[in-house]
Structure 1
Amino acid sequence: MDKYDIPRKPVAGVTQDNNVPSSSGGTTLDPGTESTQPAKHWWWNKKVESSQERINKDLVKQFNGKKGFDGHFFHRPLNPNPTPSPFDSAAILESDAKGRYIYRNQLGQTYHKYDDVATYLSPTNYVPKRLLVQATTDVIQHQRGTGDWRRTTIKGSVPFVLKVSEWALRPSNRDDNGKRSIFGVILTMIRILLVAFPLQILLVLPTTASWDDGDIKDSYTDFPGYHWKWPKYAINPLDMRPEDTSLEKPVKKKSISSLKRLLRPRQLVVLKDGEWVLDPNPAKDISYLFISFTNLHFNTDNSEEGRQLLEKMAAFAALQAGKTAYWLDFKCRAPRDQEDLLDADVYRMCDVIRGSYQVVVMLKANTSEQKMQWGSRMWTLPEALLAPGESVFFCTPSPDTDNFSIHSMRTVEMTGSVWEDPDVPGEDGGPTRLLAEHFTGLLTLSRLEILSNSIAALGNRFTNYNPNTKSDIAYALMGLLNYRIEKAPSDTLFQSIARLSLANDSDHLIERMICLFPDPHSPSTPFQQLASPDLFQTHLWDITPECRVVGVADEDNTVLIDNCRALSIRWKNFPRMAVVRHFGFKKLLAELFVASGAWWFLFGFNLTITYAPFYAFPSGLHGTKLLLALEVLVGGFFGVGVLLSFCGPFSVRRLYGGQVLQSSPNLMGFEGVLPLKKLEPLIFGNNNGRLTYAPSSTPFSYAYRDPRERVGQEPVWITESLSSPHLLEEIREQLPKGHKLFTLVDTGSLTVCVFSAKRPPTAALLAGREGGMLRAVLCSWRFGNDCLVKESVVRMSSDVFEAASAKSWLKVSLGS
């Protein structure tokens, strides 16, 4: 086993490397073993204390809430994120002697860093850096201490000459009704007088940014991630962690699927010579009954009376059906001391059901309450669904005699009186009803529908079980499928279902789950919501995956994916936009005015300086006329220069802020929301209607769509956010616990969308598509174990896909 793959106990959030002291004062000398011997040298303990002090000192500094500067002024957060991540104690990176994590990038280069505030993976030099998030004034004033990331004031990168011109022209801009105020026009003329001549000087300086169209990139900035560790389970055995030959007992490789089907029962209770005996080698062609019951009624673990009653009822049911054999689990399963064989019998019980003649349910009374108690148990659902024919039989004691009675019930009828499903808005029937209709041949579900509805139905029945045995849902589920998996006590529910899904080629269930956007307000688990539409009103089977799961990670709810297109999201500021603008007659005139305005002044100065002696000593009438002509000429040069200078602000607005035909694709974000009339000048310098809201990108855009065209409209609570902050506060109160509002700007499509998340996502994974749109999974990056964590999901236009780069082996957590 490779030393990089051994989980170590963290010391104040940091793990210890090999031959580095552990938190108990001993050392970890050999992979896979823990030393219980105390340190032999005093300097080991001193080293631990030094490492701990460094970590504490760094945490105190990074979360002191004060201002700082690292090329940008920022506000530090106040407290570390109190919510534990799903991988706080598993598969974290190794650390050095100073307690810093050692990160290895896609080029194989290592980097040492403390794990403190939120971090992002730099797309320019491929190293982890502390995340700096630009935020609106409202966020800075009221929320700057929350979260675990640094914040800075939102700002753009607009040419200074454009800022000056916009300042001069802003008062005369048209209002929402398309009108200009007289006072605004007068104020604009005064401001133009103030800036006209300085603006002409600035335009001829070589340091002034050019208005020429820049080089347009063809692709978005990609996310430079690559995960080096072995997965816990892999699709291909070659990608599994190799055995460590240095260990005395090599670790057994874990496979996706290896449990074979059971073609016939291993043993049955058979009637021989008038007695019911356990036959360990029953005949291959013998017909038998499968006996179903629940311990809630008979307590077979502790009650001999309950076991005898069950055997008596089973014998009666077999004879009534004309059979001489039956299968009863506590009689026909392996003894408890044979753990491996016992597990195999339990998880292959579905094969026994399929081969039986009838499924007979034993109840102590023929009441609806008893039937519903039986139907509420998780393991009884596959027994009924796999029952031969269309009916299940119920055996109960007769109330007036010592005998028993048997009656049947169609499986579909049981969904109304025996099984209960939670009400699903917009659905006519729950997952159990659909499964009953499928297994009785009334309709045909796809494999994906079978899997998702089965998980939801079994999850609804898990409330009666120990939460520590949640993975049993997967083992009960596999009875409805073809391929099986072996029991792994260390597996979580997600890991078990992921193994089962990958083994059965179940139409990429996990890939589709990555793209789903379940309701975070719902008390149901994500597995229970699989059969229901998500927040985009989309079912699991409506999504086409654009990535592949290649392995299951050590952490819960975490997988490794391949061939996924990934984009980096920029948070620290808005960069200078490289755009292609419309070139028309107005732009030609603007260039002539800007380029020639200063030259008219220079020609005037040149004439003045050249003929200065002549001005001082004119000779005769001819000289006087020549002097007058020169004065008129110089005055004309200066006059034209002044007129062109007055046109300077208008020319600059046209040159730097004209209609954008194409823009370099970038994903940029900020915390909070801003009206477009305030946001667009930060990016492009002025408001010219370039940006629009994506019509169906997030749930926030549902209520604000143009009824005539597929165009999004700005929500009222954003438009009025500056003048009516209570509207924004009402939206924040409706967010899921711990969520904050963020805005994402796509300069490739010139669209804006608003979403909520617990942390600012630094990468967008184009993991699937549905309804003519891409599913972009927004993920934050956890440096501590090099993992992307799903924060939210947005929909993007399909043309983004070709402008993104495909990545290999990314580790992605679907969250809690």
Structure 2
Amino acid sequence: MAQYEMSPKGTHSTSYEAPYGDLPVQMNTEGRAYSHAGKPYKGPLRLRGYRHIFDPYSVFKLGKPHFYRKPGYAYEKLAKHRHLDWFEREWVGDYDDRYISPYDGKISKLVVQAVDNVYDGPANSTWRRTFVRNIAPLYMRLANWPLNHVDYARNGGPTSEDWPMICVKWFFAAIAITFVVGTPTEAEGQVRNEGKYDGVPYKYHGYPKVARNALEMANSRGYRNEANPVAERLLRPRYLCFLRETGTPAMIMNVEEWITQYRAEKNLSYVFVAYTGEQFRTTEDFRALHQMADAAARNAGVLAYWVGCSCMPEPENMQEDVYRICDVIRGAHSVAIAVARPANDMHGISTTDEMLQQWGSRIWTFPEVLLAPAGQMVKVYTRGSDLFSPIEVAKNQFAAKVWKEDAHVARQLVDHYEGNLILNQLELVTLALECLHHRETTQYLKGDHSYALMGLLRIRPKIDPTDSAFQAFARLSLANDSDQLLERLICVMPRSPSQPWHSMDDAFNCKLWDILPQETSIAGIGEDDTIILDGCRAANIRWKSFAPVAYAKLLSWKRWAAQKLIHLGGVTMLIAIILVSMPETYYTHGTKAAGGILLVYSLVLMGMSPWLLRIIYQGKFWKTQGWFFGFEGYMDIDTIECQIWGGRLGRLKWSPYGSPLSRHHRNEYGDCIADDPCSDPATAALVEKAKTAGPGEQRVFTIVDAGTMTVTMFVAERPPVCFLFAGSEGGMQRVIGCSYDWTSQTMYRETVLRFQTPVVDEVFRIPRVKVGFKRPQYPVGDFNAVGEAKGNLSH
């Protein structure tokens, strides 16, 4: 963990490892570096760059990047896996970290550039790492070199202490520029994809488990085959317990037979008796339960009652009936609750209120109250008490009296079913799912929470015992008009890595209805807790290195003149040298003087060359080539600019609210000013901690968006290899950063960031994509013991 100390000015600072060398460095609240003596490092942090090739752990390869460091961990070789790419080329090999190359569509090994203190640190990744390279042309680096030690952020410009060093460096830079300014390397990159971001050549070749359209199912036999079959509603219970004379147990009878025999369909009414198996288990308990139910029916003046332990006697229909109890409740005259002290009481439950609270903590009891007839009191019968004087509880008091842990949320649902405060479909599903997951259950099927929720909605899919909890919920969402709930849910940024899929707790503090899906829709549900998302735009993230960025800007007279002067400097000096070296004759009279003048002129141009180059390449960009550059770790803005453009030009800015780590403040003019994330000591400590993270733990990554000239730092378990533009919120795009599991063709959500809306117009669409909420952790071992992953491509 980072250590918090006091900087010389009294501001909080966080210690962190120096970029190179043994001297510790501190980061103050402005994200600036300090030396061991408390004096500021001037200018950007200096990276080792190509000096890393002499490190004993740097490995050479023919493909770019030529130098990399092997990972410390490797995935266990449990099986050979197969991948079919965009062009239907088949790759078979061991499990490893790969991405889809935007150049040829193949899956390539993931190589991530990392800052020095990560690259030189522990080998704790499963992907290859390479060092950060400065890709700016040499003459641009030379032009900015004289001023790269000046701390503009601290002093606003050069001070009297800086000028002696500036003059010395300027002299050598001017000489060096003369020899390299004519090299063919350009400071501007090439325009790619008409200025748009690199696309993702992805195609999903598999089948969904459940599709919206029946024709897309693997076992499709035509239009009659249902993709997501819907269960029929029960118009009345199959069985009821009909009252007989007082003191005689009720008669359990098939309802249809009772109607046929007594021809009394109009008079058929019953009480629904709710109880929990925690309080009624034994034969004696059920005998007492029937006595309480009998009294409840007689008190209500009805002919029968329904109780779960006796009114579902048909084993072949048991499963369907359990999940259609909601229909029985809706058709009931009233609802009565039977409570008792549990036999294995470990909490000293003795009062009716405590018994009722235990009853209310169970998942299946929650909808029993919500669906009880509106406007009626719910009667509570306590075992051993006077059965003809039950306690009456109004539905709108259950939240405060029984459901205390989530009373505020539960009360909204009660008001909805009472007709006092109507929720829309999205709010209803969101709040109900939150309440149900707060409750306990003895699991019968993995999708029990969703099946309990199913009773509250209009359309209910048929029960599938093979469903996982997520698949059951997803099928329920597809069947109902849930306002694109799943499309919104995938755009939620979890607050913690362990947050379950059903939690809607967003790290950006937004509600689910704040997120608007953008042209995306769910086409199907995958076999492995995934969704098939259609309509996405996707952009590739370049992790292996930075690249020259093409741009467009105005050609001013000042910039035009500087360009001509610097290009004439070398020619002028050459002419001057020729003229000065010519022998003095009648025909060459005055040439030496002219040569001397031109020589002086060329020397002046040479001395001005760093300044002229900065004039040529400075200035604001009107448009830039779309790129997403990524690296592992943290660098300040000045250092990032130096690696891409050769110096600090004030072009890049931190994203003020693109990530939960983003920071900003309001200046004296009311402007929103983005801050360095490491100005927050907690974020700086997170950066420090992430250096030693192992597989499955959170690490720090940074994205440079060349299209909007912003930088965003975030945390994730793995580096996302692409961005999926799936929704919008608060005037910005919700972008899902995904890693790629090539063994199942699944994009797994690693993070969610917020980008400026114009970016979406510069991103290509992709076909349907299989998206997962959380990537399972594949078994890993020591790299030296497991060995390099191998595979081969067949065309």
- Do they fold alike, i.e. is TM over 0.5? yes
| Distance in 2 between residues matched to 1:369 and 1:262, nearest whole Å | 34
* Alignment pair present for 1:548 and 2:521: yes
Could you tell me whether the CA contact under 8 Å between 2:656 and 2:664 is conserved in 1?
A: no
Report the counterpart of residue 74 of structure 1 in structure 2.
68
- Cα distance change, pair 520–735 in 1 and its aligned pair in 2 (3 A): farther
| Distance in 2 between residues matched to 1:213 and 1:342, nearest whole Å | 68
Q: Residue 758 of structure 1: which of 675, 698, 717 is its match?
A: 717
Q: Residue 121 of structure 1: which of 96, 100, 113 is its match?
A: 100
Q: Could you tell me which amino acid in structure 1 is paired with residue 425 of structure 2? A: R
Report the counterpart of residue 362 of structure 2 in structure 1.
377
Report the counterpart of residue 251 of structure 2 in structure 1.
277
Report the counterpart of residue 39 of structure 2 in structure 1.
none
Q: Could you tell me which amino acid in structure 2 is paired with residue 396 of structure 1? A: T
Report the counterpart of residue 348 of structure 2 in structure 1.
none
SS at match of 1:635: helix
Deviations 1:622-645 (A, max 9, x none): x3xx65512101212222121111
Report the counterpart of residue 9 of structure 2 in structure 1.
none
Could you tell me whether the CA contact under 8 Å between 2:189 and 2:547 is conserved in 1?
A: no
| Distance in 2 between residues matched to 1:639 and 1:132, nearest whole Å | 51
Report the counterpart of residue 746 of structure 1 in structure 2.
705
Could you tell me whether the CA contact under 8 Å between 1:197 and 1:645 is conserved in 2?
A: yes
| Distance in 2 between residues matched to 1:236 and 1:471, nearest whole Å | 23
Q: Residue 209 of structure 1: which of 179, 186, 200 is its match?
A: 186
| Distance in 2 between residues matched to 1:244 and 1:65, nearest whole Å | 58
Aligned-residue offset at 1:195: 4.0
Deviations 1:188-221 (A, max 9, x none): 333343343442343334x242669967943211
Could you tell me whether the CA contact under 8 Å between 2:143 and 2:613 is conserved in 1?
A: yes
Report the counterpart of residue 106 of structure 1 in structure 2.
86
Report the counterpart of residue 426 of structure 2 in structure 1.
448
Report the counterpart of residue 11 of structure 1 in structure 2.
none
SS at match of 2:430: helix
Aligned-residue offset at 1:182: 4.3
Report the counterpart of residue 535 of structure 1 in structure 2.
507
Aligned-residue offset at 1:304: 2.3
* Alignment pair present for 1:239 and 2:216: yes
Report the counterpart of residue 652 of structure 2 in structure 1.
691
- Cα distance change, pair 358–65 in 1 and its aligned pair in 2 (3 A): farther
Q: Could you tell me which amino acid in structure 1 is paired with residue 415 of structure 2? A: E
| Distance in 1 between residues matched to 2:446 and 2:772, nearest whole Å | 19
* Alignment pair present for 1:638 and 2:614: no
Could you tell me whether the CA contact under 8 Å between 2:121 and 2:691 is conserved in 1?
A: no
| Distance in 1 between residues matched to 2:681 and 2:640, nearest whole Å | 11
When structure 1 is superposed on structure 2, of 710-719 and 305-314 the one drifting more is 710-719
Report the counterpart of residue 180 of structure 1 in structure 2.
158
Report the counterpart of residue 592 of structure 1 in structure 2.
564
SS at match of 2:602: helix
- Cα distance change, pair 239–124 in 1 and its aligned pair in 2 (3 A): same
| Distance in 2 between residues matched to 1:418 and 1:215, nearest whole Å | 63
Deviations 1:470-499 (A, max 9, x none): 311111110000111222222111000000
Q: Residue 382 of structure 2: which of 391, 396, 404 is its match?
A: 396
Aligned-residue offset at 1:661: 2.8
Deviations 1:254-295 (A, max 9, x none): 732321111122222223677632221143431111111111
| Distance in 2 between residues matched to 1:347 and 1:630, nearest whole Å | 104
Q: Could you tell me which amino acid in structure 2 is paired with residue 576 of structure 1? A: P
| Distance in 2 between residues matched to 1:177 and 1:809, nearest whole Å | 52
Larger helix percent: 1
Matches within 5 A, 1:454-603: 454-462=432-440, 464-466=441-443, 469-520=445-496, 525-527=500-502, 529-530=503-504, 533-546=505-518, 547-556=520-529, 558-603=530-575
Identical columns (%): 29
Report the counterpart of residue 335 of structure 1 in structure 2.
314
- Cα distance change, pair 210–444 in 1 and its aligned pair in 2 (3 A): closer
| Distance in 2 between residues matched to 1:270 and 1:372, nearest whole Å | 30
| Distance in 1 between residues matched to 2:729 and 2:694, nearest whole Å | 25
Deviations 1:741-797 (A, max 9, x none): 111111111111110000000111111111111101111111121111101111111
| Distance in 2 between residues matched to 1:733 and 1:102, nearest whole Å | 32
* Alignment pair present for 1:293 and 2:271: no
* Alignment pair present for 1:672 and 2:647: no
Unpaired runs of at least 5, structure 1: 1-63, 83-87, 90-98, 246-251, 423-428
When structure 1 is superposed on structure 2, of 234-243 and 503-512 the one drifting more is 234-243
| Distance in 1 between residues matched to 2:755 and 2:723, nearest whole Å | 10
| Distance in 2 between residues matched to 1:374 and 1:212, nearest whole Å | 68
SS at match of 2:278: helix
Report the counterpart of residue 752 of structure 2 in structure 1.
793
Q: Could you tell me which amino acid in structure 2 is paired with residue 294 of structure 1? A: T
| Distance in 1 between residues matched to 2:82 and 2:739, nearest whole Å | 19
- Cα distance change, pair 157–645 in 1 and its aligned pair in 2 (3 A): same
Aligned-residue offset at 1:502: 0.6
**TM-score normalised per structure 1:** 0.80
Deviations 1:44-90 (A, max 9, x none): xxxxxxxxxxxxxxxxxxxx9763424321111111369xxxxx99x
Aligned-residue offset at 1:171: 5.0
Report the counterpart of residue 3 of structure 1 in structure 2.
none
SS at match of 2:571: helix
Q: Residue 808 of structure 1: which of 740, 756, 767 is its match?
A: 767
- Cα distance change, pair 212–197 in 1 and its aligned pair in 2 (3 A): farther
Report the counterpart of residue 44 of structure 2 in structure 1.
none
Aligned-residue offset at 1:590: 1.0
- Cα distance change, pair 304–346 in 1 and its aligned pair in 2 (3 A): same
Q: How many residues in Structure 1 have an aligned counterpart in Structure 2? A: 695
Report the counterpart of residue 425 of structure 1 in structure 2.
none
User: CA RMSD of the aligned region, Å?
Assistant: 3.0
SS at match of 2:596: helix
| Distance in 1 between residues matched to 2:465 and 2:57, nearest whole Å | 44
**TM-score normalised per structure 2:** 0.82
- Cα distance change, pair 219–471 in 1 and its aligned pair in 2 (3 A): same
Q: Could you tell me which amino acid in structure 2 is paired with residue 555 of structure 1? A: D
Q: Relative CO higher for 1 or 2, CA cutoff 8 Å, sep ≥ 6?
A: 2
| Distance in 2 between residues matched to 1:709 and 1:735, nearest whole Å | 40
Report the counterpart of residue 29 of structure 2 in structure 1.
none
Deviations 1:97-120 (A, max 9, x none): xx753322223x213242343111
Could you tell me whether the CA contact under 8 Å between 2:352 and 2:382 is conserved in 1?
A: no
Report the counterpart of residue 267 of structure 1 in structure 2.
239
Could you tell me whether the CA contact under 8 Å between 1:297 and 1:363 is conserved in 2?
A: yes
Deviations 1:402-457 (A, max 9, x none): x54323201121112212325xxxxxx54322211211222111111111111111
Matches within 5 A, 1:420-435: 420-422=404-406, 429-435=407-413
| Distance in 2 between residues matched to 1:578 and 1:769, nearest whole Å | 28
- Cα distance change, pair 304–172 in 1 and its aligned pair in 2 (3 A): closer
Aligned-residue offset at 1:234: 0.6
Q: Residue 291 of structure 2: which of 309, 312, 332 is its match?
A: 312
Could you tell me whether the CA contact under 8 Å between 1:333 and 1:342 is conserved in 2?
A: yes
| Distance in 2 between residues matched to 1:515 and 1:313, nearest whole Å | 49
Could you tell me whether the CA contact under 8 Å between 2:642 and 2:648 is conserved in 1?
A: yes
- Cα distance change, pair 658–735 in 1 and its aligned pair in 2 (3 A): farther
Aligned-residue offset at 1:710: 2.8
Report the counterpart of residue 338 of structure 2 in structure 1.
362
Matches within 5 A, 1:128-147: 128-143=107-122, 145-147=123-125
| Distance in 2 between residues matched to 1:78 and 1:65, nearest whole Å | 11
Report the counterpart of residue 710 of structure 1 in structure 2.
672
Aligned-residue offset at 1:606: 4.7
